[in-house]
Structure 1
Amino acid sequence: MNIARALTIAGSDSGGGAGIQADLKTFQELDVFGMSVITAVTAQNTQEVKSVHPVPVEGVEEQLQAIADDIHVDAVKTGMLYDEERICVIAEQIKKAGWKKVVVDPVMVATTGMSLFQKRALSALIEYMVPLATILTPNIPEAEVLTDRKIETLDDRKEAARQLVDMGAKSVIIKGGHQAEGEHVIDVFYDGESYHTFERPRVETTNTHGTGCTFASAIAANLAQGKEIFQAVEEGKAFIHTAIEHALDVGHGHGPTNHAAWRFQGK
Structure 2
Amino acid sequence: MSAQSLPAHLSLERAIIHVVLLCLSVATVFPLVWMVTSAFTPNELIAAKAIRLWPEQPTLSNFTIAASRHPIWMWLWNSILTSTLITLGKLVLALPAGYAFGRLEFPGRKFLFWLVVATMSFPTVLAIIPTYIAVVKVQAFDTYGAMIVPSVPYIGFYVFYFRQAFRSLQGSMFEAARMDGAGLWRQFWEIAVPNVIPAIAALSVISFMGAWNIYLWGQLVLEDSFRKTLTTGIAAFADLDGAEVLWGPLMATSLLSVAPVLALFLLAQRFIVDALAPGLDEK
Give the TM-score range, shorter chain.
Answer: under 0.3
**Higher relative contact order (CA closer than 8 Å, sequence separation 6+):** 2
More strand as a share of residues: 1
Bigger radius of gyration among the two = 2
More helix as a share of residues: 2
The TM-score with structure 2 as length reference comes to 0.24
